[in-house]
Amino acid sequence: MKLKLNKHWSRHFKDSSLIRKIRFIILTVSVLLLSLILLLTFFIYQSAIRSREVARGQRAAYNAASSLDTSVSNIIDRFIAICGSQKFTQLVGQIQQDPAQESSITNSLQTELNDLSNCSYLVSSALIISADLAHSYAPYRVPLRLAAADQFSHAELADTSGVTLLSSRTNPFYTSMAALPLVIPVNLSNGFAEISVGDASPIAYVVLYLDQTKLLTSLDLTSNGSDAYQYDLITTDGHYLTAVDQSAQIDGKLDQEVLNRLKVSQQQAQVGSAQIQGQTAVLYMPLEIGHASLLIHIARQSFMDFLGSARYSLLLAAGILLLIILAISLFMRRYVTDPLKHLVRIVAQIKEGRYHKKQPARSRDEVGQLLDAINSMNDTIQEQMRQIKREEAAKYRTELKLLTEQINPHFLYNTLEEIQSEVVRQDAAAAGNMIQYLAEYLRIGLSSGADLIPITSELRHASAYVNIMNQRFGQSILFMYKIDPELRDQLILKTILQPLIENAIRHGMGIDAPGMQVSVPTIEVDFKRGDNQTILVAVIDNGSGFDASQLEQSLSAALPAEGQHVGLNNVYRRLITFYGQDHIKMRFNSIPYYQNRVSLEIQTGSHNAG
């Protein structure tokens, strides 16, 4: 009974609509994935990974802040040692009294400036500027490329009190380097130079440019270069001094909630924390020097890296999920994709003309119904194609016959009239020759109804026509031909030379067109083998010539006017009808009374012409 039910259900599912199959599969996959996601989410949030990662981040924050405080403190100690001399005090006094003595003061400060530039690996360069930003005193070893007024504003420097770290900007000595200016305001008190603190107006500012790249790299090293942590420096009011991770920024400033926690943490001298944008944790630590705080962004990936024993559970869940997806994929392939691929193969066979045996439908769903429709459509298409081929063959034979018959009547009547005249004149020899020429002309032209004749027969047909025209009009046209030996038995569409020769005689040798008499009128026909089963035909005469552009226009005319190269148009239409328009090329070139050439290029490979 159970086996019977399974067979019944399988048959029912196979015959159900394709959309129902797809919906069932999607629903199954969605339920399984949702259940798995809920299970994994519950497991992860029940673990202690989050708190453990934040604790590690706090230790990293303490280490990084301590390292940075130590580095800045060492820089300040070196500053005091370098600038705590009587000489430096005197130079500060000169800046106060006459800052315009820029060259002299700069020259005297070279030792101090060079020592300051080398006081720490974080310091890339040093600069002393007057309080009004009008004068700068820089070391000679590197040229100053940016003026102080282009780097600082009066308001920005006025807000400094004691040693202050300003936001990142271009290093005025190395413009490709980003630097953090460590500004030390200097004043005179009791005959000594001192760091200005509070509201006292400084005489000058000593600016030490900290290499931002080295500074951030040194912070990374405190956490062993872990990619899980990214560091930023901010001011006490939340503005960014560096901008490595922009995820927590709003117009270059921390969100107000984060800023409030930062202030609380500064007051309590501990690491503050906040969650920003989902799983990303932000930790911050106030610095002792520079009126700045340190921010650490803990990336989401770091939580996954420390899941510990949960990795095995995840691998197990992933394996189960993979097996489920594999089973569903096999199910979809058997009942959805394989039938569709079968239809695609059938359609491809129909397209290539290889579908000869009908494939019966395996089910009664939409795929089976579509296969029945394709079979029916293929039968209809094949019958229509056979009908079209029959109609095209009949149309082709009719058109070719009509074009061939257009050549003969007018010429035949005139020739018979000429024979009659010779009989009346009792010129038996002339009449006999004309009858012989005409018989040869008609025998080859009719060819028992065949469309193709050997090239040698075509040449005899053209020769008979020239002989008839010579006798009718009292001409002495010399007819010559050349043919490649391999083309002697080559079949070609019949009676294509006669209209071309007729055009040369009537329009170039004074029969229908006036012109200078040619002493030795000559017509030459040349047959050569070209490339790729191509036959090259040339009809050459030494008559009065023709207008090549006019002849080219006559080829494209649907019905040329009387006397406008009707025969030439007829030959071209017959050729393209038989061989195809892409396989026929006709060219014209005329040098009157020397060489007038009509060239034909026939690609016989397009038609079984031999």
H helices of 295-358, in order, are: 301-305, 310-332, 338-352
Q: 217 CB contacts (<8 Å, ≥6 apart)?
A: none
CB 64 within 8 A of CB 57: no
The average pLDDT across 447-471 equals 89
Q: 376 CB contacts (<8 Å, ≥6 apart)?
A: none
pLDDT higher than threshold 90 for residue 487: yes
| Nearest residue to 492 (alpha-carbon basis) of 604, 586, 605, 393 | 604
The average pLDDT across 547-576 equals 79
Q: What would the pLDDT profile of 318-370 be if each residue is shown by its tens digit?
A: 677 677 777 776 777 777 777 777 777 787 777 777 777 777 777 777 777 77
Share the mean pLDDT of the chain. Answer: 79
Diameter of the chain measured on Cα atoms: 154
| Nearest residue to 125 (alpha-carbon basis) of 211, 205, 183, 217 | 211
Question: Using CA atoms, how far apart are residues 264 and 261, in angstroms rounded to an integer?
Answer: 5
**Other C-beta atoms within 10 Å of 133: how many?**
17
Q: What would the pLDDT profile of 302-319 be if each residue is shown by its tens digit?
A: 445 555 555 666 667 667
Whose structure tokens read 């000429």? Answer: 418
| Nearest residue to 135 (alpha-carbon basis) of 97, 165, 166 | 97
pLDDT higher than threshold 70 for residue 245: no
| Residue 491: per-residue pLDDT | 93
User: Please, what sign has the CA dihedral across residues 197, 173, 88, 85?
Assistant: positive
Question: Using CA atoms, how far apart are residues 285 and 65, in angstroms rounded to an integer?
Answer: 7
User: Please, what sign has the CA dihedral across residues 344, 350, 353, 359?
Assistant: positive
Dihedral, 240, 245, 251, 254 alpha carbons, nearest 10:
-60
User: Please, what sign has the CA dihedral across residues 107, 109, 112, 116?
Assistant: negative
Question: Using CA atoms, how far apart are residues 130 and 154, in angstroms rounded to an integer?
Answer: 11
> Which tokens in the block code for residue 18?
């394709």
- Bridge partner list, 479: 523
pLDDT tier, 275 (very low <50, low <70, confident <90, very high otherwise): low
Q: What would the pLDDT profile of 405-442 be if each residue is shown by its tens digit?
A: 555 567 778 888 888 888 888 888 888 888 998 889 88
Q: 411 CB contacts (<8 Å, ≥6 apart)?
A: 502
Whose structure tokens read 């119904």? Answer: 369
- Bridge partner list, 70: none
Distances 610 to 35, 467, 526, 607 between C-alpha atoms, Å: 75, 29, 19, 9
pTM: 0.45
pLDDT tier, 244 (very low <50, low <70, confident <90, very high otherwise): very low
Whose structure tokens read 């048959």? Answer: 11
Residue 114 burial (10 A CB sphere; 0-12, 13-18, 19+):
middle
DSSP 8-state symbol, 406 = T
Question: Using CA atoms, how far apart are residues 600 and 584, in angstroms rounded to an integer?
Answer: 7
More confident residue, 20 or 534: 534
- Give the gyration radius of the chain's Cα atoms: 51
pLDDT higher than threshold 80 for residue 147: yes
| Nearest residue to 600 (alpha-carbon basis) of 583, 27, 160 | 583
| Residue 462: per-residue pLDDT | 93
Q: How far is C-alpha 514 from the chain's CA centre?
A: 64
| Nearest residue to 271 (alpha-carbon basis) of 509, 571, 64 | 64
User: Domains in the chain, ordered, with CATH?
Assistant: 51-298 (3.30.450.20), 406-606 (3.30.565.10)
Whose structure tokens read 């023709």? Answer: 546
pLDDT higher than threshold 70 for residue 465: yes
| Residue 250: per-residue pLDDT | 41
